[in-house]
Chains A and B, each alone.
Chain A
Amino acid sequence: QQPVQSPQAVILREGEDAVINCSSSKALYSVHWYRQKHGEAPVFLMILLKGGEQKGHEKISASFNEKKQQSSLYLTASQLSYSGTYFCGTRRGQNFVFGPGTRLSVLP
């Protein structure tokens, strides 16, 4: 069963902030975040392994609430280069499942 992401899509102006949420009805033991630009392959952003963990990559950061079985990705002062589809993913035993993705469009 794949994680759920919200919103499905978001449109921003350059410099605005955005939050993308990822949740699961099953226990989350780790959360991965990937970004896929149009016409390209998904690229790894970060992994959160423990509840309460927060990480950052430039102006993109993420948090992981293990109890609530959810993770959030924060994009601060968005840049045009942030446009793309963001996927969360998680392990399911030996398997790995991605969420449906959130399409982010940053306009000048």
Chain B
Amino acid sequence: DAGVIQSPRHEVTEMGQEVTLRCKPISGHDYLFWYRQTMMRGLELLIYFNNNVPIDDSGMPEDRFSAKMPNASFSTLKIQPSEPRDSAVYFCASSYRGGSSDTQYFGPGTRLTVL
């Protein structure tokens, strides 16, 4: 299996621009998570999906952030308009919660820089 795939790996944009981050989870996994990591705030859960349905988006910072999962193999995280304080590494992770184990497998992350 190729693991969780994220694109782009790096994104540099200017304040006010729209940014779209993409994620392809591991096939067969029924949970997908979006995290943001910064030095100041650590690893924060933004939103997660179960079977393509958003379950908890309480971690989404504000209305500028939105996430979708149109099918089991694709999810997007969009920031519009972007601001310098959105600069961070964004990770997507997927897991399968069958049984008692729900190990999360992380993608390589997207390093976002907003100028």
Q: With both chains docked as a complex, state the minimum distance between the C-beta of B107 and any C-beta of chain A, in angstroms.
A: 6
Q: How many residues from B make CB contacts under 8 Å with A?
A: 19
Query: A39-51 toward B: CB 8 Å interface, digit per residue (1/0)?
Result: 0111110010100
Given A41-B91, A42-B91, A101-B43: A47 and B106 interface contact (C-beta under 8 Å):
no
Q: With both chains docked as a complex, state the minimum distance between the C-beta of A37 and any C-beta of chain B, in angstroms.
A: 12
A96 contacts B33, C-beta separation under 8 Å: yes
Q: With both chains docked as a complex, state the minimum distance between the C-beta of A17 and any C-beta of chain B, in angstroms.
A: 26
Closest to B108 in A: A41
Complex Cα gap A32–B106 (Å): 14
Number of contact residues on A: which range applies?
A: 10 to 19
Q: Main SS of the interface on chain B? A: strand
B55 within 8 A of A: yes
Please tell me which one of the listed residues B45, B50, B101, B106 contacts residue A42 in the complex, with CB atoms under 8 A apart: B106
Please tell me which one of the listed residues B50, B56, B105, B107 contacts residue A44 in the complex, with CB atoms under 8 A apart: B105
Complex Cα gap A47–B43 (Å): 18
B104 contacts A44, C-beta separation under 8 Å: yes
B42 within 8 A of A: yes
Q: A41-B109, A100-B42, A101-B42 are in contact. List 5 more A-B contacts (CB 8 A).
A: A30-B100, A47-B101, A87-B43, A95-B45, A96-B102
A-B contact pairs, 20 of them (CB 8 A): A34-B104, A40-B108, A41-B107, A41-B109, A42-B43, A44-B104, A47-B101, A47-B103, A49-B100, A87-B43, A91-B102, A94-B55, A94-B56, A95-B48, A95-B56, A96-B48, A96-B102, A96-B104, A98-B43, A101-B43
